Amino acid sequence: MTEIIVPSVGESISEVQIGQWLKKEGDWVAAGTDLVDLETEKASVQISAPEDGILLKILKQSEEFAAVGDVIASFQPAPKTAIPAPTSAPAPVPAQVAAQPTVSISTQPQPVGGTRIMPAAQRMLGDNQLSAGQVPPTGPGGRLLKEDVARFVSHSVIPATSSATPTTSPSVSTQSLMQQGPPNRSEEVKPMSMIRRTIATRLVQAQHNAALLTTFNEVDMQPVMQLRTKYKDAFNEKHGVKLGFMSFFAKAACEALKRFTSVNAEVRGNNIVYRNYCDIGIAIGGGKGLVVPVLRNVEKMSFADIERNIGEFASRALANKLMPNDLEGGTFTISNGGIYGSLLSTPIVNPPQSGILGLHSIQDRPIALNGEVVIRPMMYLALTYDHRIVDGREAVSFLKTIKDVIEDPSRLFLEI
């Protein structure tokens, strides 16, 4: 028997939270197959099967916490001479394992309608009298997670059955309602996830340790939208990636950071550390919450490089595949609340950074242009900055630079 232990997942990380078990007790697992997701304070990591064998016993359940080095499961390696038959039949089980009455031996989870159902999700389906086909799966490899079922139940409306009392009989309807009893006032207590703990700690740290102030402006998005419409097909054909708005703002932010270096700086004790490079964090809504992977040396990246890296980060974030080093560092952050419909907000600086740019939804609004009222696609911009090292004049000028570059993208290529 082999012990499955929590590995070292990064410097200063001593505790993890058990995420979703991807295999259940008794499953035959091929070497290298992911067994479980572990959630750390920075990202999610996976533990894979060390070799072919059977997952005997799960010792730490989902949402429980474990320290680095803790044993979370036991694993029975297959005998070196035993090779599972390459057919659809269940893999052969070692005799010494089959003799243990407490272990339920099974093959890999059989898909139901093409969907792999996790044990917790299966129990929740039964409790709510649902079938797997009713609930959209979002887990790795199309797995149906208990979170999927919970989300479906919380957003579903139970239709009235054909045996319900007709609405033409008020007295009977009232009696039927009274028979339902008092409203459900139950509560559910769940531990805060590791990533959510870190987010909470860092946001409070920013509020306590920095002098935060936000300045606003608005930008006419029509020039960028026209440029994008004109070249998006050729861009996609040449680079194999779509041309989005974020690459324009990342390059515009780099231009502004070059001009106003204090926004790209950091307070370190009684010193100010200035950087001559732009490592820009891009806030992404991941599978476990908001994450901010970092694009490094954006000043040297092309538009295609930026779009390609953002797309890869987004895919890995949704699959909880980001690594701790993807989230470390960063000299400035861009957060796009507009994709969720936000019209205006005051983003919070990600310490020890000194600035964060907030993007918002694009809306057609009337503006005065050359003495006439015209309708343009407008976006509000917000820059939250640490007033300890960034003066108001610099912050306003920084945001004005981004506005000027976005409204005249040719400045990016002429460096003016």
**C-alpha 168: how far from chain center:** 50
Q: What's 241's DSSP letter?
A: S
What span, in angstroms and rounded, lies between the C-alpha atoms of 147 and 118?
10
C-alpha 72/C-alpha 54 separation (Å) is 15
Say how far apart CA 333 and CA 278 lie, in whole Å. Answer: 10
Euclidean distance between CA atoms 32 and 49, whole angstroms = 5
User: CB 64: neighbour CB atoms within 10 A?
Assistant: 13
The C-alpha atoms of residue 262 and residue 127 are separated, in whole angstroms, by 57
Q: How far is CA 411 from CA 2, 248, 299, 345, in A?
A: 61, 11, 15, 27
Q: Is 391 a catalytic residue?
A: yes
CA distances from 61 to 13, 98, 104, 179, 291 (A): 20, 24, 17, 38, 24
* Rounded-to-integer distance, Cα 2 and Cα 10, Å: 23
Instruction: Examine the residue annotation and report whether 239 is marked as an active-site residue of this protein.
Output: no
* Burial category of 184 from C-beta neighbours within 10 Å (exposed 0-12, middle 13-18, buried 19 and up): exposed
Considering the candidates 70, 239, 305, 387, report the single residue annotated as catalytic. Answer: 387
Active site residues: 387, 391
